[in-house]
Each structure stands twice: as structure tokens, then as C-alpha cells.
Amino acid sequence: MKKPVYLDYAATTPVDPSVAMEMMKYLDPEGVFGNPASRSHGYGWQAEAAVENARRQVAELIHADPREIVWTSGATESDNLAIKGVVGQRSSARGLKSHIVTSVIEHKAVVDTCKWLENHGAEVTWLHPESDGRVAPQAVVEALREDTALVSLMMVNNELGCVTDIAAIGALLRERGVLFHVDAAQAAGKSPIDVASLNVDLLSLSAHKVYGPKGVGALYVRRSPDVVIEAQIHGGGHERGMRSGTLPTHQLVGMGKAFELAGECLEQEMVYLESLRSAFLSGLGELEGVHFNGSREYRVPGIVNLAFEGVDAESLMLGLRNLAVSSGSACASATVEPSFVLRGIGLGDELAHRALRFSFGRYTSVTDIEFACSHIVDVVRRLRAVR
């Protein structure tokens, strides 16, 4: 049987073949398998050189200094390290309680970390975004308090694809001396990122959303002005004490190569994905009762969230057997609750239950989009007819 067409790039991407090829050089007895922390022989030195090259490649995509990149196991860990790291530092070094500002449509890695901190003495203000999914800079400023330790907001929402004005918020927070953490897992490789002009202090990245391997990511930690975070994983003092654990050379090399490719392909890929998105939307143009969720103007092109009147997402997904798509976020789709993100932008339960996310990427073809459109039109019509 033919494999379903993959339209779930926001959940994960396949590893680019050139990335996989690079990674293989760092595994077997003939390869560079040494421990990058081994200082006494060439096996270690070579591995260390590969790790530092990857660090430079990741830094370059976001215009950071390589010394500002801390390796982690993925954006989930980066989010935890950034938020708990700032709050923990304030509490251990200065005995201060912390107030955090975030939003109700963040990734679970941020939402659940903030909830956990709420149960451990921190206070959290949960902002509601505008109905287009973007958090208004003014709302952030109004939420600030004397004891605000950190604002944590995502750049691109993983369910909606909309882009919040991080630069505007960053400028306001820098003026007021409040730290700013940004989850950019869905922004890297999809839109330009410049940590200097964004005035961001901490920024989370993941490899597997950018054609790199799963299980590896990074946290950007600003050096000037210097941001100090408390380690969450203790051990050998790797990564300048911020994150211990033997560095997985092959994973890091894979992330580095993937980020280098992302930088090279960025402009061209944005144009290509925009053309797929417009083909997709016009292909569905003959269907009535389709709602577009999230900002139409401020968005990355590869993520489209649509609600279909009169058809629930679960039945539609079952009907769309030849497409791999998701309802809500991948993590939330094990439950039948409507997506908290869609509810967070004020969608009623009814429409929230009717929404699907379609996400395209590097290996999506025009033929895939044409196929998807005719398949969706067929199934939606069939489901509406039997109501």
C-alpha cells in the first residue's frame, strides 16, 4: 500500500539525507566516536572540534556567539532549563520569589513548567492572545510587576503558525530590564531569527523540527548583558556548568548540519512553502464553511489550521486515510479534549472540535498538495452528506 502523504511537518520532520550521512561519521569504530570531554588524546580532540563546529553552525542561524549556545536534549529541556533556571537562580542566589508572565497558548513544555513552578511558590500571569493567536506587546507590559523575573513567549505557535512580534516585546522588556525567554522551536528554519535585534535573552531550539535528529536541541543564553541560570541537571559540569552530561557528538553534528542547511535554504524554502500554502487554500476554495485559524498576515507559510463546519476533526482524520495530519498538537491528540490553543484564542468548543492542522515542508510536492485537496474535498462532502 502507498504511504499516506505526510502533512505533519510541525510535529516532526524527517532527517535530511545529507544530515544523516554526516551523523554516521561519528558513531562506529572507524569514525570520530571519542568523548568530546576527553582531553588526553586525539579521539577526544576530534570529537570536541566537531562539537564546536556544530555549535558555530547553530549560533550562525540565530546570529549568536557560539559561546551562547548550550546543548540540550531538545526544546522541552531548553524550555525547562530557561524558566526553572532563571527562577531557581533568583531564589538560590538572592532568596527572591518570582513572578512569570507567559500565555495560555504556549507549548506544553512551557505551560507545564510554569504550572509546576506555580505549585512551588512562583506566581504566573497567563496572558490571553488576540483572536489571531498573537500576544499583544501592550498586554505583556501591563502584566509586568516589580518582582517579574521572566517573560516566556513563543515566536511561532506550533498549532496555528502565527508569529508574535518578538522584536517589539523584546525592546519593551529590555528597556525595563526584564528577562525574555522565547521558544523558537517552530521559528528556526521557517523565519529569520536575529537574537540581537530581537532583544531576546534565552531562546529554545530543537533539531527535529528543522530536518535534524530527534533528542537534541539547544538553549541560547545571552552573554551581554550576562544572563545567569541555575543548572537543572548536575554532573560533570559540562556546558559551562549549565547542563551536565556527555555530549552526543553525532546528534550535535546532525543539528549543526541541519541548521547550516536551514540557513542556506531559508529564503528559497519560505517562497516554496508559500506557494504550496496558496495552492492548498485555493484547492479547498470550492468547499463552503471553512474557517482559517490564526493570523493570515503574520505567519509562517508551512502551517495551516482550518476548521470545517459540520464535520468533527476526529471523523475527518479517520476519513483522511491517505493523509498524515493532526488535530491539536501532537502531544494533546491522545485526548479528546479540544485543543487548549484553539480555546485560548477564543474559539468555541464546537469549532475547536472541527479543526485540523496541515503542515508542509521540504519534501512536500505540488502533487501532494493537489492530492490532499481533492481527498479533503471528497471526505468533507461525504461526511456532511451523511449528517
Ligand X SMILES: *Cc1c(COP(=O)(O)O)cnc(C)c1O
Q: Strand 323-324 relative to strand 355-359: parallel, antiparallel, unpaired?
A: unpaired
Residues ≥6 apart with Cβ < 8 Å to 217? 71, 72, 73, 74, 75, 76, 77, 78, 185, 204, 205, 206, 207, 255
Q: Helix (H, G, I), strand (E, B), or coil: what is residue 223? A: strand
**186 contacts ligand X (rule: CB under 6 A):** yes
Angle between helices 42-61 and 249-283 (to 10 degrees): 30
331 as an active site residue: the answer is yes
Q: Measured at CB, which residue is nearest to ligand X? A: 74
The answer to whether 329 touches 339, Cβ cutoff 8 Å, is: yes
C-alpha cell at 180: 525574555
Active-site residue (options: 114, 162, 265, 331): 331
**182 contacts ligand X (rule: CB under 6 A):** no
- Decide whether 159 or 201 has the Cβ nearer to ligand X: 159
The residue within the footprint of ligand X, chosen from 16, 22, 48, 183 (CB under 6 A), is 183
What phi and psi, each to the nearest 5 degrees, are found at residue 353?
Answer: -75, -5
- Decide whether 154 or 173 has the Cβ nearer to ligand X: 154
The residue within the footprint of ligand X, chosen from 5, 15, 59, 109 (CB under 6 A), is 109
Question: Which residues inside 190-249 make contact with ligand X, applying CB under 6 A?
Answer: 206, 208-209, 217
- Decide whether 62 or 185 has the Cβ nearer to ligand X: 185
The residue within the footprint of ligand X, chosen from 55, 84, 90, 107 (CB under 6 A), is 107
The answer to whether 302 touches 361, Cβ cutoff 8 Å, is: yes
C-alpha cell at 317: 482524520
The least distance separating ligand X from the CB of residue 70, rounded to whole angstroms, comes to 14
The residue within the footprint of ligand X, chosen from 127, 185, 202, 231 (CB under 6 A), is 185
Contact string (CB under 6 A) for ligand X, positions 8-47, x = contact: ----------------------------------------
Smallest Cα–Cα separation from 186: which of 119, 105, 127, 240? 105
Residues ≥6 apart with Cβ < 8 Å to 95? none
The least distance separating ligand X from the CB of residue 163, rounded to whole angstroms, comes to 12
- Decide whether 207 or 242 has the Cβ nearer to ligand X: 207
The footprint of ligand X (CB under 6 A) covers 74-76, 107, 109, 154, 158, 183, 185-186, 206, 208-209, 217
